[in-house]
Amino acid sequence: MIIEILGAKLLTPYFGSSHFVWTAQIAVTLASLASGYFLGGKFVDRSASLHRIYGVILAAALYLAASLPFIQALCQQCLSMSLPVGSLLAAIALFFVPLALLAMVGPFLVKVFFASEAQIGRAVGKLSALSTLGSLIGTLLIGYVLLPLAPNSVTLFATASLLASLALVYFLAWHRKLTPTALSLCALTTLSGLAGVRIDLITRFEGFQVVARKNSNFGGIHVVETSYGIRYYLNDFLTQNSYNPKSHESDSLFTFMLRELARCYTTNLNRSLCIGMGVGIVPMQLAAQGSKVDVVEINPDIVPIAQQFFGFDPSKLSLHIGDGRQFLNQTSSKYDALVLDAFLGDSSPSHLLTVEAFTSMRRCLTDAGVLVINSFGSFETGKDFFLASLEQTLRKCFTDVRIHASGNGNVFFVASPTRLNPTRTPDFSSMPASVRPDAHRAWESQGATIPSHGLVLTDDFNPVEYHDAKNREEFRRLLASSMRRQ
C-alpha cells in the first residue's frame, strides 16, 4: 500500500491528480498482484527454500531504488502522450515489476508455513487478515506520517532500504551466508537510492534559485526566485502565483481580476469569503480594502510558506483550514463576495463545481452578493466542454452569470442571485503594466458558451475530468515548460 499510494504521488507532478492517474496506479497494482500471485505459486512449488523468496524481496528493493534516478526523465517522456496512456505507461514502468515481485511472497508463505495445517482455510484466513492489517498500517503510515514529513524520493528510498534490510538480516542471521550476489544487490540498492534522492533534492529550475521546498498531503511545494527578486510559488512543479517582495503585489492577471470583479459587481464589499488561499495575495488585497475576510484553505503547509515569502498576515483575516464544501455546509455567515480560487496543480477540484456546491455558495451570499470564479479553459469547439458545463451549472443556481476572458486561457465567471450591473470599472492603474492589456481585454469581453456542448454538473454525475483531459494536459505542459528543471 505504501508503494501504491506513493506511486500515485510520484506521478502527480507530471500527470496531475485526476482519476486517470489513480486509475492507472490502481490498475497496475492489481495487475502486478495477479501476476505475482500466479508466479509465486509456481515458484514455491518448484522450491520452498526461504533464501529464494528473500532474494525476490531484495530484487524488488533494488528495482525501486534503481528507478529513483530515472523517474523525472521517464515521466517527462510520457508527457508527450495522452494523459491516460502516459500515466499508465509510467506506472507500468516504475511499479509493475517491484509490486509483482512482492506479491510472490503471499503464495510462498502459504506453502511454507501452512502446508501441514489440517484446517487450511483457517490458516489462509489468518494470513489474509495479517496481510490486510499490514496494508492498513502502511496506508495510515504513508498518509498521515510519511507524505507530510519527508520528500517522496526519501520515502521511496526508505521503503526500498527496509525491504533490502529485511533480506539482509535473513541472509546473515538465518541463512548464515551472504552471497556475493546478495551483497552486490544490497550495495546497488543503496547507491541507486542515494543517487535518486540526491537528484530530487538538488532539483534546480533554469534561471531560478530554489529558496524553499516542502512536501505536503496536497503536493510538493517549491518557492523559487529570479535574480531580480521575483518569487514564484510552485505546486508539484507548476507555477501557481508570483510575488514582488518590494511592491508586495503579484504580476499574475487573476490576482487583480478576482479582486476587481468582486469590487466592481458589488455596491458594498463589507464581508468576503475566499475558498482557496493560494499564497494569500487576493485575501490580503480584499482585507486592505476594508473587507472582513474569511479564508478556507485545505493545505495547512502552505500557510507558513505564504507568511515567510509572500507577505501573508493571518492576523488581518480569519483563516480556516479545511475543505471548501465542508465549510460551506457548516457556516451560517452571509458574504457580499465569494471568491473561488481553489486550484490543485492544473485544475479546480471538481467537487466544488457542481449544482450542490453552487447551491451552498448561493445560500452563503447576500441578496446582491456575487460569486467570482477563477478558471482556465477554451471556447474552441471540441475543447469547450468544461466552460460550457460550468456556465450551465451556474445558471441552474444563479439568476445572472457573466463571463470575462483574457484570451490567454484565463476565464473568470461572475454569478449572482440578482441581475449583474457593474457599479464601477476596475482600477487598472493599480495593476502592473505587464498585466494591464490582458486585464482590459478580460473586463471588456463578454464571453458565452454553446449550451449543447456541456451539461449540468452534479455530485452524482461530474465527468469534467474525463472530457477536459486534453485541455488540462496542454495547460500542464504550458505551466511545466515555464519552469524548466535541470
At 280 the pLDDT is 95
In the prediction, which pLDDT does 189 show?
A: 78
* E-strand stretches of 137-284: 209-214, 221-225, 231-235, 238-243, 271-275
Cα 187 to Cα 19: distance, rounded to the nearest angstrom:
37
Of 194, 198, 196, 174, which is closest to residue 186 (Cα–Cα)? 194
150 DSSP 8-state letter = S
- pLDDT for 283 equals 96
What's residue 296's pLDDT? 96
Q: Are 201 and 215 in contact (CB under 8 A)?
A: no
What is the model's pLDDT at position 455? 95
DSSP strand pairing (292-297 vs 231-235): unpaired
Q: Cα–Cα distance between 121 and 49 in angstroms, integer? A: 23
Domain ranges of the chain: 2-201, 248-482
The answer to whether the CB of 396 falls within 8 A of the CB of 455 is no
pLDDT of residue 119: 65
CA distance 21 to 30: 14
* pLDDT mean values, one per 10 residues, the chain (486 residues): 89 81 93 94 81 88 90 85 89 95 87 65 78 87 83 89 88 69 74 76 77 88 91 87 89 92 93 95 94 96 96 96 93 96 78 95 96 92 93 97 90 96 90 90 89 94 85 71 55
CA distance 156 to 8: 12
Residue 306 CA, chain-centre distance (Å), reads 18
Going from the C-alpha of 52 to that of each of 62, 109, 113, the distances in angstroms are 15, 12, 15
CATH fold for the domain made of 248-482: Rossmann fold (3.40.50)
Q: Which three cell numbers stand for residue 157?
A: 528510498
C-alpha grid cell for residue 156? 521511496
Residue position matching grid coordinates 495593476: 431
Helix axes 2-15, 120-141, angle to 10 degrees: 40
Q: In what order do the strands lie in the sheet with 318-321?
A: 318-321, 292-297, 271-275, 335-340, 365-376, 410-416, 400-405
Q: Can you state the percent helix, strand and coil of the chain, rounding each to 5?
A: 55, 15, 30
Model confidence, pTM: 0.84
